[in-house]
Amino acid sequence: MKVYCGLCGYAGHELFNHLRDVHDMTPDKYRERCPVAPLVSEKLLRYLSENKVQATEHGMKKHVSLFGFSMMASLVPTPMVPQMSDGYFLREDTGRHAAASLKDNERLLLVGPTGVGKSTLIEQLAARLNWPLVRVAASGGLTEADLLGEWTVKDGETVFNYGFLPRAMKKGAICLIDEIDGLEPSVAFSLHQLMEDGGSLVLLQNGGELIDPHPGFRLVCTANTLGHGDDSGLYTGTRVLNAAFLDRFNSVIEMGHLGSESEQKVIRTSVPEVTEKFAEKLTQAAGAVRAAQENDQIYCTLSTRRLLDIARKTVQLESLAQALDAALLSRLAPEDRSVVHEILQRHLGDILEEEAKAHARKK
C-alpha cells in the first residue's frame, strides 16, 4: 500500500524525494502542514528493516564501504547521479584520499596535467555512492551569473534563475568546477564566503538571499596548475589564483599519470578489442613522449585520455596510422609533431609496418 502526499495527492512508497524536488519542503515542514500523514509505506518500512536501510529526511540511505570508509549512500540514484562505468580503474592512492575528503566535507582541489582523470575520479566516486553531481567548466567565459544566477523572464514573468552553485547546494549535490585556474578573479571572489568553515552563500543578485548548504553538498575543483600560473606553455590562459582563495581548500590532491601497468589495464578494460601487446607498446610510447616534454624537447604531452582515443580509433578505423593522425598528430605544432612522430615510430613501428604491408596486399 502506497502513501499519498497531503499537498498534491502524489502516490509512492516514500515522500522524501517528492517533497524536496516538487514542493521544496523538508519532512519537518511537511509534518507541520500534514501532522498525521505518513512519509513511508509499511511495505517499504519492512524492506528498509530487512536490508538495514535508514529512512532520513534526506531520503533512503544505506551504508557503503569504499576504500575502507563506511559512507552513507542514497538507496536510489536520481537523474543527477553520474553513470557508473564498470570498467573504470579506481586508483587506490588518489581515490582513497578523495573519498575521505568527500566523507569529511572538505573543500577539495585536484591538480594535475590534462587527461589524467581528475574529474572522472570524482564522477565515478559519486556514481558508486549515488551522489548527485553538478559539473561546470570554469574556463571558457564562466560568468558570475552562470555560477550564482540571474533574473530572467519566463512565461512573461520575471523570475530568478539559480546558477550551478546554489542548485547544487539546495540538492545536496557535489559541485565539481573544472579548470578553476581559468576562472575570472571576480568570479572566484564570490566563492570565498562559502568556502569558509560553516560558510553559506549570500545571493546579492536575489536581494541578499541566504542559502545554507544541504548536508550532502560538497565543493570540488580541478586545475591543471597549482594556482601559480603556467610556465610550461601547455596551459595558456590559466591564471594565478589568489592566495586567500587557495588557502580555503582543506585538501589538495596532486594527480600524475598512471604507471605503465595501470595504464595498460585502463586501455584493455575500456577498449577490450585491443591486444595486450598493443596496449603495452602504446603506454611505452606515451612514457617516451612525456619524458621528452619534461626534458623541454617538446611542448605537448600524451595523456591517458588521448591514449584511449587512439585505441578506440584504431579499432574503429582498423588502422593505427590513421588513428594516430586523427587523435594525436594532427593537433600538434609542426615542431612537436616531428619529434612525437619519431617516438611513435620507435615504439609502434613494427605494428605500423605490418599494417602497411597488409594494406599493400589488399591493393
What are the residues whose beta carbons fall under 8 Å from the beta carbon of 267, sequence distance 6 or more?
274, 279, 282, 283, 307, 308, 311
Q: What is the pLDDT of residue 227?
A: 59
| Residue in 179, 215, 202 with CA at minimum distance from that of residue 105 | 215
Contact indicator for 255, 94 with CB cutoff of 8 Å: yes
Q: What is the pLDDT of residue 56?
A: 65
Q: Which residue has the higher pLDDT, 242 or 195?
A: 195
Q: What is the pLDDT of residue 283?
A: 96
Whole-structure pTM value? 0.78
Structure-block grid coordinates of residue 145: 551569473
- What angle is formed at CA 311 by the lines to CA 309 and CA 315, rounded to 5 degrees? 115
Q: How confident is the model at residue 362 (pLDDT cuts 50, 70, 90)?
A: confident
Q: How far apart are alpha carbons 268 and 105 in whole angstroms?
A: 34
**Other Cβ atoms within 10 Å of 208 Cβ, number:** 8
Determine what percent of the chain is predicted with pLDDT higher than 70: 92
233 pLDDT more than 80: no
What CATH number is given for 62-254 in this structure?
3.40.50.300
Q: How far apart are alpha carbons 234 and 255 in whole angstroms?
A: 16
| Residue in 68, 79, 69 with CA at minimum distance from that of residue 17 | 79
98 pLDDT more than 80: yes
**Other Cβ atoms within 10 Å of 289 Cβ, number:** 24
Show me where the domains of the chain are located. Answer: 3-57, 62-254, 260-362
Q: How confident is the model at residue 90 (pLDDT cuts 50, 70, 90)?
A: confident
Contact indicator for 60, 15 with CB cutoff of 8 Å: no
Q: Convert the pLDDT of each residue in 7-54 to its tens digit.
A: 999 998 888 878 888 998 888 889 899 988 888 888 877 877 776 666
Rounded to the nearest angstrom, the gap between the alpha carbon of residue 359 and the centroid of all alpha carbons in its chain is 41
Q: For 285-303, what is the mean pLDDT?
A: 92
Q: How confident is the model at residue 57 (pLDDT cuts 50, 70, 90)?
A: low
SS3 356: helix
Look-up of cell digits 529526511: 57
What are the residues whose beta carbons fall under 8 Å from the beta carbon of 132, sequence distance 6 or more?
78, 80, 81, 126, 168, 171, 172, 173, 174, 216
Structure-block grid coordinates of residue 216: 550532502
Q: What is the pLDDT of residue 236?
A: 52
Q: What is the pLDDT of residue 66?
A: 86
Q: How far apart are alpha carbons 117 and 89 in whole angstroms?
A: 10
Contact indicator for 211, 97 with CB cutoff of 8 Å: no
Taken in order 26, 32, 37, 38, is the CA torsion positive or negative? positive
Domain made up of 3-57: CATH architecture: Orthogonal Bundle (1.10)
Beta bridge partners of 133: 174
The end-to-end CA distance of the chain, in Å, is 70
227 in the Ramachandran plot: left (φ > 0), alpha (ψ -120 to 50) or beta? left
Q: For 224-251, what is the mean pLDDT?
A: 70
Q: Which residue has the higher pLDDT, 210 or 183?
A: 210
68 pLDDT more than 70: yes
247 pLDDT more than 60: yes
| Residue in 272, 291, 282 with CA at minimum distance from that of residue 320 | 282
Q: Which residue has the higher pLDDT, 100 or 66?
A: 100
Q: What is the pLDDT of residue 67?
A: 86
Q: What is the pLDDT of residue 328?
A: 95
229 pLDDT more than 60: no
